[in-house]
Structure 1
């Protein structure tokens, strides 16, 4: 494989947002008198967008419409974005490696698009990353449309692109788009989950992912 582009997931792959999401959704629950959830709950359920996480966070016997809660949690999210998140150690080295070798870099995330753009602008502004988030132009992952559009915009075949993420949603997206699915264990997914969905390779260390990417550049 000659590597032409890499598409990353965002939360749990490039940046650790578990503490931030834990705070945001528990703040919503607190303000509305609902019991809070623990950190592991959020770590397990992140990945399918804010609506999905909200519905899972609410008490099981909550049957009312939650459109007002959705508006509220989006407001809390916007107010607290990037206050508790951090880039995983070694990720900037990988992005720099790709940039200096003129490999196209993309991010496709189920985080709301305007929030994803704010994250990228804060943490990765120098890397010229094409970013697509939810509630923007295309269906959410694992629908492959956003990945295929990004491949077209880059001018590369899907088979020339790595799709790297920490969840089964990312692996499904890669396979659906005909890209090489790469799983990472430092985020929210598990080895069993990633391998079960068909990840081509799975890395537990950022440094090992860098070595692998470097091997595809020569």
Structure 2
């Protein structure tokens, strides 16, 4: 049995896509830019907000304008990050059962830190032993620093933990940190894309995920 499970947030424990798309399009509209479809935003998220904005405004956007768009998006998303966001079915109960079995749990996300903490408090109050989002002093995943800091807080070695995510970023994060990767199929990437990007253990339900963690 794993002593700890480290979870990604967006696409893994929370369905945040609608709020990300709506906040992005509100921001882009203010700057006279065209909106993106839900499918387009789904493909763009996963590498943190700065990268999302880079993709949204394009390579030819001047640095000064990109910085303004980024700053404004953080404000808009801060006000609307929980309008439509919900845990995936079965996730809350599954995490609670893991804790009952003595598994320590953490969240590490490329989402900005204030939003990660707010959403964790709203949907999983008092549940996670460590919660880390993107900050200036922590490199974004797939760099393993965020995972290692979470494990340090938990007091668990990498070889005694597993990593749960939903994207190619998470596949690389698990590999870089030396954690067993458990990649869910209900998130922001297709099964085919996950396999193409190196996922070897695909998980289709929270119940299956729980069984693997406790095995």
Q: How does 1:121-140 map onto structure 2 within 5 Å?
A: 121-135=121-135, 137-140=137-140
Unpaired runs of 5+ residues, structure 2, are none
Q: How does 1:106-125 map onto structure 2 within 5 Å?
A: 106-125=106-125
Corresponding position: 1:45 with 2:44: yes
- Aligned partners of 2:193, 2:113: CA distance in 1, in Å? 26
Aligned to 1:131, what secondary structure does the other structure show? strand
Partner of 2:18: 19
TM (norm. structure 1) is 0.92
- Aligned partners of 1:19, 1:149: CA distance in 2, in Å? 30
Aligned to 1:210, what secondary structure does the other structure show? helix
- Aligned partners of 1:152, 1:60: CA distance in 2, in Å? 38
- Report deviation, 1:60: 6.0
- Report deviation, 1:87: 0.5
Q: How does 1:131-150 map onto structure 2 within 5 Å?
A: 131-135=131-135, 137-150=137-150
- Aligned partners of 1:61, 1:132: CA distance in 2, in Å? 32
Give CA deviations for 1:81-105 in whole Å, capped at 9, x if unaligned.
2111001000012111111112110
CA contact (8 A) 1:180 1:200 kept: no
Equivalent residues, number: 214
Partner of 1:75: 75
CA contact (8 A) 1:142 1:173 kept: yes
TM (norm. structure 2) is 0.93
Corresponding position: 1:212 with 2:212: yes
- Report deviation, 1:213: 2.8
- Aligned partners of 1:132, 1:20: CA distance in 2, in Å? 20
- Aligned partners of 1:189, 1:67: CA distance in 2, in Å? 28
Partner of 2:187: 187
Partner of 2:172: 172
Partner of 1:103: 103
CA RMSD of aligned residues (A): 1.6
Runs of 4+ in structure 1 deviating by more than 4 angstroms, as ranges, are none
Distance 1:95 1:136, change over 3 A: farther
